[in-house]
Amino acid sequence: MAQIDLKALDLNLLVTLDALLRERHVTRAAQRLGRSQSTISHALGRLREIFEDPLLVPGRGGMVATARAQALEVPLGQALGQVRALFEVEADFEPATTRRTFVLECPDLLGLLLPELLAWMSVQAPNARLSFTASWVSCDMSTSKTR
């Protein structure tokens, strides 16, 4: 098989192949992906060209995976899992640049620490906001010196 130019490859084809391998049926794969049967059939044709293999052939009750398609199932599932994980990773929290509002509900005595907390936040998280409630007061405060 020739080396694939990833810039020219529609990576949605891999999602389609995954659905086809799971369903072993073009119509059910189309339903799974919210696409038309025609779209999935066309994608299967493109996948066959790319992999130079029929991948799925008609059989009793659906499609039968070729040896090449069977060999792709596990690595394909792993690769798609890794791609999904790219979008699930949260960036590290950076107090110095955050613009988040932190909500704090505190008992009366903890409220005595608010001046120290605000002083700390004004240095460490200058653009953060603090919203707090206690039985004696409810307040929204900004730690920014420009607000």
Q: Do residues 71 and 125 share a domain? A: no
Of 42, 63, 88, the residue at which a domain comes to its end is: 88
Is-above-0.85 flag for pTM? no
Total count of domains within the chain = 2
Is residue 96 a part of any domain in this protein? Answer: no
DSSP string across the chain: -PPP-GGGS-THHHHHHHHHHHHSSHHHHHHHHT--HHHHHHHHHHHHHHHTS--EEEETTEEEE-HHHHHHHHHHHHHHHHHHHHHHPPPPP-TTT---EEEEE--GGGGGGHHHHHHHHHHH-TT-EEEEEETTEEEEEE--TT-
95-136, pLDDT tens digit by residue?
A: 898 888 887 777 666 667 778 888 899 999 999 988 877 665
Is residue 1 a part of any domain in this protein? Answer: no
Q: Do residues 74 and 126 share a domain? A: no
User: What is the domain extent for residue 122?
Assistant: 101-142
